[in-house]
Amino acid sequence: MNDKIDGITGKILERYSSVLDNLPPKNKGNLKFGRRYVSVSSIASQYYCEKKLELQYRYPRPPTKKMLDGIMGHDVVTTSAIPLTREEAYQEALKPRERPICIYEIDLAWYHNSVPILGKVDEVWINGGEVSLVSERKFSNRLEIFPSYHIQAQLYCLGMGEMGFNNYATKYCIQVYKQSCNSCYQLMELTCPLCLLEAADYQCSRGEGRTYIFNFQHENIISELNWALDFWLGKRATTSAENPAKCNACEYATICDSSLVV
C-alpha cells in the first residue's frame, strides 16, 4: 500500500477512534436522555417530528413494518458488496483511480461544537479521497422528498469532510423507492437503472423509484445542525409536527400531548 495513503488512513482512523474512545459510559452521557452521542439518523428524524423522536426514546417500541421494510431494502442493495473493514474502506476511498468507485456503509464520527456525531453512509462515490457523490436510499410509497431526507444526506456529506476527505465539490443523491422494491432481485444484483444512476425515474412490474441529485451546501447544513443539537443540549423545547397527516400515521398519537389527530 502507498505510504502516503497509509499515513492518511491512519489519521482518519485516529479521528474516528478519538470520538469513540472518549465517549462516556452507556446511559451516562450529558446529552438528552443520557445519550453519549447523536446519530445522523436521529438528527434527520428531528426534521420529521421531534416530539415523536422524544417519545421513541421515552417509550421504546418494536420496529414498525415500514422500518423493517427499509432495513430489508438496504440489506438487499448491499448483498453483492465486497465486505471491507473500516481501515480497508478508508484505504480504498483514498486510492486514485480513473473514475470514482462506490463504497457502501462507510463509518463516520466527528465532533460538532463538542457534541459527538456518528453515522454510516449508505453509499459514497469517491476517487483519491475526493467525494463526488453521497447517496441515500429511502423506501416509501410516497415518492417525494422530505426535509429529513435532505438533512440526513447533507450530514453525511459534511461528515465525510470532517473525517478528512475532500467534499468541496460533492453532490448528494436521494433515491426513493416504493416499499415493494425492498426485496427486488434487480436491487440485489444492482441491475436496476436507478442503482446505476442511469435514470431519474424508473418503473417496472415490481415497483417504482425516483432519483434526485443536489449540490451539497456546507453553510446550510451547519445552520440546521446547530438548531438540531440545541435539542440534545437542552437549550430549547421540543418542537412538534404541524401536519395532521403525520400524527394520524404516528404510533404515539394516543399518548402525545401535541397530537393533531382529528
- Tell me, what's the pLDDT at 63? 75
- Tell me, what's the pLDDT at 62? 80
Which of 197, 152, 151, 148 has its CA nearest to residue 175?
Answer: 197
The reported pTM is 0.93
Query: For residue 118, what are the β-bridge partners?
Result: 39, 109
- Tell me, what's the pLDDT at 70? 65
CATH: 3.30.420, 3.30.70, 3.90.320, 1.10.3470. Which one for 3-18+40-47+62-231? 3.90.320
- Tell me, what's the pLDDT at 77? 73
- Tell me, what's the pLDDT at 64? 73
User: Which H helix or E strand runs over 94?
Assistant: helix 86-94
Which of 209, 204, 100 has its CA nearest to residue 160?
Answer: 100
Domain assignments of the chain as residue spans, ordered by start: 3-18+40-47+62-231
Q: Which residues, given as ranges, of the chain have pLDDT below 70? A: 1, 68-71, 73-74, 80, 262
DSSP class per residue in 219-251 = HHHHHHHHHHHHHHTT-SPPP----HHHHHT-T
Would you say 146 and 48 are in contact if contact means Cβ atoms under 8 Å apart?
yes
- Tell me, what's the pLDDT at 143? 92
- Tell me, what's the pLDDT at 119? 97
Cell of 152: 440526513
| Dihedral sign (CA 239, 245, 251, 254) | positive
